[in-house]
Chains A and B, each alone.
Chain A
Amino acid sequence: MLPYIGRRLLATVPVMAVVAVVVFMLLRLTTGDPAAIIAGDNATSQDVEAIRTKLGLDRPIVQQFVIWIGNILRGDLGESFFFKKQVSELIAERVEPTLALAICTLLLAVSVAVPLGVLAAWRRGTWIDRGVMGLSVLGFSVPVFVIGYLLIYLVAIQLAWLPVQGYQRLADGVGGFLERLVLPSLTLAIIYVALIARITRASVLEVLNADHVRTARAKGLGDAAVLVRHVLRNAAVPIVTVIGLGVALLIGGVVVTESVYAIPGLGRLTVDAVLARDYPTVQGVILLFSVVYVLINLVVDLSYTFLDPRIRY
């Protein structure tokens, strides 16, 4: 077990290195001169030169990369061109809404999708199965922002059940916090539900035909017990894998959902930073999201040993 964790951790090092290089190159590949962008429109060429020296842009690119990596490892993501603040500070301010949205969506999606997928597999070939699969294709196809605006239109404007947009910090009251999270989470959950329901169905279908399931039935176990204890447990590995991989979809969706619902989170920050050509912030956020994604999938890989004791590394 421990050597496996060690090896798995080591394997993430080259991946993170590639991510770092790509994200670093994002700033260097720009058509404009970052120093000129920071200096603004009224700067003299001396100003630009001073900024260039300050940021180390006049040094060889490899040296710049090493300095950049060193700073990042110390938690220094640089200073935002646009917000004139440390990027790490900016991220810290914006992390709560995004985290709340992501966790809410994850809980909602898993608790809806897994039962749906199991149901579809269990009632294979019936209208329930076809309905779930049809909805799943639909969920993949309707863009997040269209779902978002449809929900806003129906639930918030026509029915006036929930606030239209905005975010309330958890510290300012749980009621308002949850009230404003319902629609965004629902919006974001749909594509995730589609993904998880599909893989759950496929994976449960495979297990349903296994001998041990027949044995469990033969000894008179009820449907619910068979499904939960014998089927779902054995179908768990692919489902958990897809939940982990789906976090990429979730992160992409966060960017859009936060824009639709005017939530001041990291996704919104990304879009604002791109529009303002604020490269350090763009780099910081992309790097953070990628690290989180890699770490989540690391945890997923490690969880296999608990989900399926037969897996030994």
Chain B
Amino acid sequence: MKAVAEPVATLALEPVAERAGVARLMTRNRSVLFGGAILALVVLVAALAPVLGTTDPAQVEPVLRNKRPGAVTGTRNADGTQTERTHWMGTDSLGRDVYSRVLYGARVSLIVGISVALISTAVGLVIGVMAGYVRWLDGIVMRIMDGLMSIPAILLAIGLVSLSRAGLRTVIIAIVIPEVPRVVRLVRSVVLSIREEPYVEAATALGARTPMLLVRHVLPNTLAPLIVQGTFICASAILVEAILSFLGVGIPPETPTWGNIMAEGRALFRIFPHNILFPGLFLALTVLGVNILGDGLRDSLDPRLRSRL
């Protein structure tokens, strides 16, 4: 029995060993570890927001408005006892606890960043593969993509959110549309170069059908650049969402997002700068983490891209 089991075990291990190689390659890179750690921290903060937060982020308390960071306030309970609370990041002009709002804001930023990255790479992948493989589609699709790319991304997003009532879904779609052409271009260029490879020609000569070719040879080659591109899209989506909220055209102001907290703090910025500085710090740190992660992934997954941007 034992003699039979052994070769089976080694056979089954093979793909696992291969994956471990990629994983090791990625974790050996210091940027991947550092950026990943920052991102993990933000994910943790977002997930644990109800535990870490001291107050309901939407609770308006006019008595407590405009407290400086670190202020301790007491509220009287029904039974006459006092509950003391420390506002680590102060309160805003409606008396909401900025610290709790910042924690919950991490959720919105991450949801927007990750969904925009996933949706735009998925949509871009499909369109890009079609443009790269179907000759007559290529010209039309690429002209449309060129046109979309010549509208500055933030402007296009602002224009798109103005179309319907602002909300999480509208904001995500408005950020996805300007990002798609960049993914399409990337995927198309990979597809175009792969289809000229001798091994793909060989597969074609051997009678492999197009869907099979795409799945077996083209898709795996788009994976590495897509992961890298997706990371950068995630970073820019988080920034654009914050900009939209900050300008007042994004997610409705009562939802705690980093952009909304800052927008709220604008009026009294000269006296109470904490409303802008704390969410701004978190926002910058998150985007920095994702960008560093992207840099590291690019260096470890695709050495050819290293010399470029």
- A residues lining the B interface (CB < 8 Å): 14-19, 21-23, 26, 29-31, 137-138, 140-146, 149-150, 152-153, 157, 164, 198-199, 202, 205-206, 242, 248-249, 251-252, 255-256, 259, 270-271, 274-275, 277, 279, 282-283, 285-286, 289-290, 293-294, 297
Query: Is residue B9 contacting chain A, with contact meaning CB distance below 8 A?
Result: no
12 CB contacts below 8 A, A to B, read A15-B143, A15-B150, A16-B150, A19-B151, A26-B159, A141-B235, A141-B287, A248-B152, A252-B155, A271-B158, A275-B249, A277-B162
Residues of B within 8 A of A142 (CB): 280, 284, 287-288
Residues of B within 8 A of A14 (CB): 143, 146-147
| A199 touching B147 in the complex, CB below 8 Å, given contacts A141-B288, A252-B154 | no
| A137 touching B292 in the complex, CB below 8 Å, given contacts A146-B284, A157-B270 | yes
Q: Which of B255-289 contact A (CB under 8 A)?
A: 262, 269-270, 273, 276-277, 280-281, 283-284, 287-288
Majority-rule SS of A interface residues: helix
Q: Are the CB atoms of B147 and A17 closer together than 8 Å? A: yes
| Nearest B-chain residue to A137, judged by Cβ | B291
| Nearest A-chain residue to B308, judged by Cβ | A202
| Nearest B-chain residue to A295, judged by Cβ | B150
Q: Are the CB atoms of B243 and A144 closer together than 8 Å? A: yes
A39 to chain B, nearest CB (A): 19
Query: Is residue B164 contacting chain A, with contact meaning CB distance below 8 A?
Result: yes
- Give B155-195 as 1s and 0s: 1 = Cβ < 8 Å from A's Cβ atoms: 11011111111000000000000000000000000000000
Query: Is residue B106 contacting chain A, with contact meaning CB distance below 8 A?
Result: no
Query: Is residue B218 contacting chain A, with contact meaning CB distance below 8 A?
Result: no
Q: Are the CB atoms of B147 and A15 closer together than 8 Å? A: yes
| A270 touching B147 in the complex, CB below 8 Å, given contacts A146-B280, A152-B269, A256-B246 | no
Query: Is residue B239 contacting chain A, with contact meaning CB distance below 8 A?
Result: yes
| A153 touching B273 in the complex, CB below 8 Å, given contacts A143-B239, A144-B243, A289-B155 | yes
Q: Are the CB atoms of A282 and B288 closer together than 8 Å? A: no
Q: Are the CB atoms of A164 and B270 closer together than 8 Å? A: yes
Residues of A within 8 A of B160 (CB): 26
Residues of A within 8 A of B287 (CB): 140-143
Q: Are the CB atoms of B150 and A286 closer together than 8 Å? A: no
Q: Are the CB atoms of B288 and A143 closer together than 8 Å? A: no
Query: Is residue B295 contacting chain A, with contact meaning CB distance below 8 A?
Result: yes
Name A248's contact: one of B153, B239, B281 (CB within 8 Å): B153
Residues of A within 8 A of B165 (CB): 31
A280 to chain B, nearest CB (A): 12
* Among all A-B residue pairs, the 4 with the closest Cβ atoms: A18-B147, A252-B154, A146-B280, A141-B288
Q: Given the complex of chains A and B, what is the CA–CA distance between A21 and B150 in angstroms?
A: 13
Residues of B within 8 A of A205 (CB): 307
Q: Which of B206-262 contact A (CB under 8 A)?
A: 235, 239, 242-243, 246-249, 262
Q: Are the CB atoms of B152 and A282 closer together than 8 Å? A: no
Residues of A within 8 A of B147 (CB): 14-19, 21-22
Q: Are the CB atoms of B158 and A255 closer together than 8 Å? A: yes
B234 to chain A, nearest CB (A): 12
Q: Given the complex of chains A and B, what is the CA–CA distance between A19 and B146 in angstroms?
A: 9
B263 to chain A, nearest CB (A): 9
Q: Are the CB atoms of A294 and B150 closer together than 8 Å? A: yes
Query: Is residue B148 contacting chain A, with contact meaning CB distance below 8 A?
Result: yes
Name B158's contact: one of A199, A249, A274, A277 (CB within 8 Å): A274
A308 to chain B, nearest CB (A): 19
Q: Are the CB atoms of A282 and B159 closer together than 8 Å? A: yes
Q: Given the complex of chains A and B, what is the CA–CA distance between A30 and B277 in angstroms?
A: 36
Query: Is residue B4 contacting chain A, with contact meaning CB distance below 8 A?
Result: no
Name B309's contact: one of A198, A279, A290, A294 (CB within 8 Å): A198
B150 to chain A, nearest CB (A): 5
- Give B71-111 as 1s and 0s: 1 = Cβ < 8 Å from A's Cβ atoms: 00000000000000000000000000000000000000000
